[in-house]
Amino acid sequence: MWRVAIVALVVLSLTLPSPPAAATSVELELVLAVDVSASVDDEEYALQRSGTAAAFRDPAVRDTISQARGGIVVTVFHWAGPEHQFVAVPWRRLQSRESMDAFADEVARMPRRSFRGSTTIHAALAFAYRLFDSSPVMGRRRVIDLAGNGEADNLPPTLAVRDDIVAGGVVINGLAIEELKADLTSFFRAHVIGGPGAFVETAWDFDDFARAMRLKLLREIGDQQISRMEMTTTP
């Protein structure tokens, strides 16, 4: 019974009406969700932070953002347990090299906001979805990208929230960090991602995060064709 109640409350929060979108449009509204649950230590968090900053400094990613119609807007938040979601970098519009530099610098400096909490993926997805209400511009596409190193603590509400978000026109992609070698990629593919063209990018461990984030952004922002060698790199 309590699981049904959780699903009902989460789905209700997702179906509340959103405020009118701003008139100016960009190619993509992107929400990046960074795992700071108890299973992620400080060194592993630092690798996510530096890997994300490095990806936004990558020349190919920068070219892809520059070529996107109107650029993109992006925000970063930290997630863990049901009450542990924190915006780390508010919405930023990226189009010029200067704006990309400033965003990468902000990401590189963002402090960790939680040191505890479970792997509550449904709460993270619900929080990510609500962030679109505060987006400064309207995007032609809306994407949530959830990075994590573990399976959801509670599967039924995860499936319910995912399906409701996808029904709202948002794509959910995943970045699975396979440090435990438990085929988290398959779990994300079956239970987390959704929407047209949704995909999972795999980081084979936290040291591989920067590479995976770079490939994910190229696919996400510009629908780039990544070489087979890059796509299949393993430890």
Domain range list for the chain: 29-226
pLDDT by residue for the chain (235 residues), tens only, comes to 434 344 444 444 444 344 344 456 999 999 999 999 988 999 999 999 999 999 999 999 999 999 999 999 999 999 998 888 999 999 999 999 999 999 999 999 999 976 667 889 999 999 999 999 999 999 999 999 999 999 998 899 999 999 999 999 999 999 999 988 889 999 999 999 999 999 999 999 999 999 999 999 999 998 644 333 343 333 4
How far apart CA 184 and CA 150 sit, in angstroms, is 7
**Of residues 92, 66, 87, 63, the one with CA closest to residue 76:** 87
pTM of the predicted structure, to 2 decimals: 0.87
Domain 29-226 has CATH 3.30.1180.20: no
